[in-house]
């Protein structure tokens, strides 16, 4: 609010942590209250892609970059497949007020976009202090609430935050994924031309949707693949009925062990059949479970677009985009499963492959959106693996 000191403004939003801490701010976006896990994201750009990433379901994103909303919002930059269902973050926290947008691609103000998606947000708080709290104590469960009247029943909100069970043991893939099989042909963005459709596909890929991002599907289409998107509960038999050249296991939210209850048996059958497999994020974690590994909840997670990861297969270090609160325990991987990537921030596992099968996965997001494109090569690695597998079958 121009010309008015923050100390003179009325509190219209609060963040209430499960330990009873109350953080006051100024509301925007949708009104109401919602539970979620509070995390922080260190990316400097791409707030719309971040907030629409289905992997953020049931999470409240604190942006460490202070100025969010400057370029507005549009209909092209969301990453979820079902935007009408508001798949993605349930809340957002900003340091500074959202200013009027200034970008040629903007179709509207971020505040209106948040309202339309049902995302509750607040601004005007010390996001550095909140980030430090998360680094020290871990990602807290909380309730974010917005009421223009400024009237809040704090006792009730504290009880609500305390009672919310959190993400451990929670399967969210069914909530954010497509409900039925669909074909994807949209290719990556071309400057001043927008998106196009794949004309003559050379490959057929089945993408198992646990909360996939659009840019993943675009990059595969851009490499010549018709992508068949299938629900997370699809069986191995239903997937194989499409006679795919390869199968992709997508990113997604929630606890991999919970989603793995129905996903792991399917993944094991595909591995036994020798189908080329590529997994990202949640798909990586569930592949590890299918191979006999274990996953665990992280203290603060990895959320940002500046994470250094080393690829041991090339010896190169990449700067990558990440968004996950669970991780694969590298020391749990059995013999025959090779660790291919590792975080240089904390040493956690970021990739694996099988020594005797066309199967690999990574924890980070090679499609970026937002983030650097250092890891785009992984999609080509997948298609090279498919070509190699098809060549071996033809030779046999």
Cβ density class 304-339: b for 16+ within 10 Å, e for less: bbebebbbeeeeeebbbbbbbbbbbebebbeeebee
Residue 394's pLDDT band (cuts 50, 70, 90): confident
Domain ranges of the chain: 6-163, 173-395
Instruction: Give catalytic status of residue 87 as yes or no.
Output: no
Does the pLDDT of residue 86 top 90, yes or no?
A: no
pLDDT at 1: 41
In the CATH scheme, what architecture does the domain 173-395 have? 3-Layer(aba) Sandwich (3.40)
Average pLDDT along the chain = 95
Instruction: Give catalytic status of residue 365 as yes or no.
Output: yes
pLDDT at 2: 44
- Tens digits of per-residue pLDDT, 126-168? 999 999 999 999 999 999 999 999 999 999 999 999 999 999 9
Does the pLDDT of residue 393 top 80, yes or no?
A: no
- Tens digits of per-residue pLDDT, 194-204? 899 999 999 99
Does the pLDDT of residue 106 top 50, yes or no?
A: yes
d(CA 126, CA 329): 34
DSSP 3-state assignment of 178?
A: coil
In the CATH scheme, what architecture does the domain 6-163 have? 3-Layer(bba) Sandwich (3.50)
Give mean pLDDT, residues 68-84. Answer: 89
- What percent of the chain is predicted at pLDDT more than 90? 91
Alpha-carbon dihedral of residues 122, 126, 131, 133, nearest 10 degrees? Answer: -110
Query: Do the domains spanning 6-163 and 173-395 agree at the CATH topology level?
Result: no
Does the pLDDT of residue 87 top 50, yes or no?
A: yes
Does the pLDDT of residue 84 top 90, yes or no?
A: no
Instruction: Single out the catalytic residue among 39, 87, 281, 350.
Output: 281
Confirm if 158 and 166 have CB atoms less than 8 A apart: no
d(CA 36, CA 140): 9
186 upstream amide cis, omega within 30 of 0: no
State the CB neighbour count (10 A cutoff) for residue 156.
Answer: 13
Does the pLDDT of residue 339 top 70, yes or no?
A: yes
- Tens digits of per-residue pLDDT, 180-190? 899 999 999 88
Give 146's strand partners: 13, 32
Does the pLDDT of residue 7 top 80, yes or no?
A: no
Does the pLDDT of residue 85 top 80, yes or no?
A: no
pLDDT at 391: 84
Give mean pLDDT, residues 255-281. Answer: 98
Name residues whose C-beta falls within 8 Å of residue 58's C-beta, 6 or more positions apart in sequence.
Answer: 35, 36, 37, 90, 167, 170, 172, 253, 254
Give mean pLDDT, residues 25-45. Answer: 97
Give mean pLDDT, residues 7-17. Answer: 92
- Tens digits of per-residue pLDDT, 207-245? 999 999 999 999 999 999 999 999 999 999 999 999 999
pLDDT at 6: 59
């Amino acid at each position: 609010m121009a010309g008015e000191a923050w100390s003179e403004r009325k509190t219209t939003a609060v963040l209430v942590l499960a330990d009873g801490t109350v953080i006051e701010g100024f509301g925007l976006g949708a009104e109401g209250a919602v539970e979620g896990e509070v995390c922080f994201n260190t990316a400097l750009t791409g707030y719309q892609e971040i907030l629409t990433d289905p992997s953020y379901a049931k999470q409240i994103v604190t942006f460490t970059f202070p100025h969010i909303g400057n370029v507005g919002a549009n209909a092209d930059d969301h990453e979820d497949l079902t935007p009408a269902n508001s798949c993605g973050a349930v809340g957002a926290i900003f340091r500074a007020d959202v200013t009027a947008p200034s970008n040629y691609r903007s179709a509207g103000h971020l505040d209106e976009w948040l309202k339309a998606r049902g995302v509750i947000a607040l601004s005007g708080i010390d996001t550095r202090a909140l980030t430090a709290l998360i680094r020290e104590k871990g990602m807290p469960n909380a309730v974010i609430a917005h009421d223009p009247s400024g009237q809040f029943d704090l006792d009730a909100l504290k009880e609500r935050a305390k009672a919310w069970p959190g993400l451990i043991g929670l399967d969210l893939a069914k909530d954010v994924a497509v409900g039925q099989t669909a074909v994807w042909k949209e290719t990556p963005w071309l400057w001043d031309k927008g998106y196009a459709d794949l004309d003559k596909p050379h490959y057929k890929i089945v993408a198992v949707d646990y909360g996939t991002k659009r840019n993943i599907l675009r990059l595969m289409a851009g490499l010549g693949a018709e992508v068949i998107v299938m629900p997370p509960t699809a069986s191995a038999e239903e997937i194989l009925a499409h006679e795919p050249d390869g199968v992709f296991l997508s990113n997604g939210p929630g606890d991999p062990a919970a989603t793995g209850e129905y996903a792991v048996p399917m993944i094991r059958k595909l591995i036994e059949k020798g189908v080329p497999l590529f997994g990202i994020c949640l798909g990586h974690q569930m592949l590890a479970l299918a191979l006999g590994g274990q996953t665990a909840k992280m203290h603060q997670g990895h959320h940002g677009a500046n994470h250094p990861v080393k690829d041991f297969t090339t010896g190169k270090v990449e700067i990558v985009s990440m968004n996950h609160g669970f991780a694969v325990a590298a020391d749990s991987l059995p013999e025959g499963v090779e660790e291919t990537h590792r975080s240089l921030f904390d040493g956690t596992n970021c990739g694996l492959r099988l020594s005797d099968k066309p199967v690999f996965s990574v924890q980070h997001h090679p499609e970026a959106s937002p983030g650097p494109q250092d890891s785009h090569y992984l999609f080509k690695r997948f298609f090279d693996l498919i070509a190699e597998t098809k060549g071996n079958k033809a030779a046999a």
